[in-house]
């Protein structure tokens, strides 16, 4: 059972790592444009989710509406998406924090997974080492005091490095679990 969970986790992690490697390369090659694209994509996703919440509220039956916050959630999400579009510079200024926290959270979970794997695999320490190194890169992204472009380039490089680590470790463990 644990092997199946790990295999499923590794497959989704490989896909996520490949997507994040693409984002990292874009952050390195076109930092400002990529940040603008990410902010626009995020705001569009929030607006679409808000529209779905709004529509689902009106499509739901009377009893569901009684306990639903879909109307308010939908309106707030649409408003938030519009505000993000209108103030994308503010979100861009904090994008390195979002990326840094993403890397930190992801690797705290990997540290837990490595500890869980200790009883099943003699190679658990490799996952632990990669997770700790990636965690350090996430912290460096957050603590980096340079300009937005420099932070974006560094975030892109650190993201690229951590996702390459993640990709290698996931492929290694997929092969090992076969």
Supply the DSSP string of the chain, one letter for each residue: -HHHHHHHHHHHHHHHHHHHHHHHHHHHHSHHHHHHHHHHHHHHHHHHHHHHHHHHHHHS-HHHHHH--HHHHHHHHHHHHHHHHHTHHHHHHTHHHHHHHHHHHHHHHHHHHHHHHTTT-TTHHHHHHHHHHHHHHHHHHHH--S-HHHHHHHHHHHHHHHHHHHHHHHHHHHHHH-
**How confident is residue 5, by pLDDT bands cut at 50, 70 and 90?**
low
Q: How many domains, the chain? A: 1
**How confident is residue 66, by pLDDT bands cut at 50, 70 and 90?**
confident
What is the residue range of 164's domain?
A: 2-177
> Per-residue pLDDT tens for 92-114?
777 778 778 888 998 998 898 88
Position 3 pLDDT exceeds 70: no
Position 79 pLDDT exceeds 90: yes
Position 145 pLDDT exceeds 60: no
**How confident is residue 1, by pLDDT bands cut at 50, 70 and 90?**
low
Whether the model clears a pTM of 0.85, i.e. scores above it, the answer is no
């Amino acid at each position: 059972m644990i092997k199946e969970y790990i295999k499923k986790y590794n497959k989704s992690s490989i896909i996520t790592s490949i997507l994040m490697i693409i984002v990292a390369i874009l952050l390195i090659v076109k930092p400002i444009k990529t940040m603008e694209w990410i902010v626009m994509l995020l705001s569009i996703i929030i607006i679409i989710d808000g529209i779905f919440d709004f529509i689902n509220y009106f499509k739901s039956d009377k009893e569901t509406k009684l306990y639903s916050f879909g109307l308010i959630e939908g309106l707030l999400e649409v408003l938030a998406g519009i505000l993000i579009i209108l103030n994308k510079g503010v979100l861009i200024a904090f994008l390195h924090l979002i990326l840094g926290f993403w890397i930190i959270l992801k690797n705290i979970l990997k540290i837990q997974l490595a500890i869980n794997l200790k009883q099943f695999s003699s190679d658990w320490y490799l996952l632990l080492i990669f997770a700790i190194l990636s965690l350090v890169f996430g912290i460096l992204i957050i603590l980096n005091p340079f300009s937005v472009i420099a932070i974006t380039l560094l975030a892109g490089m650190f993201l690229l490095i951590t996702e390459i680590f993640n990709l290698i470790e996931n492929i290694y463990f997929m092969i090992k679990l076969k």
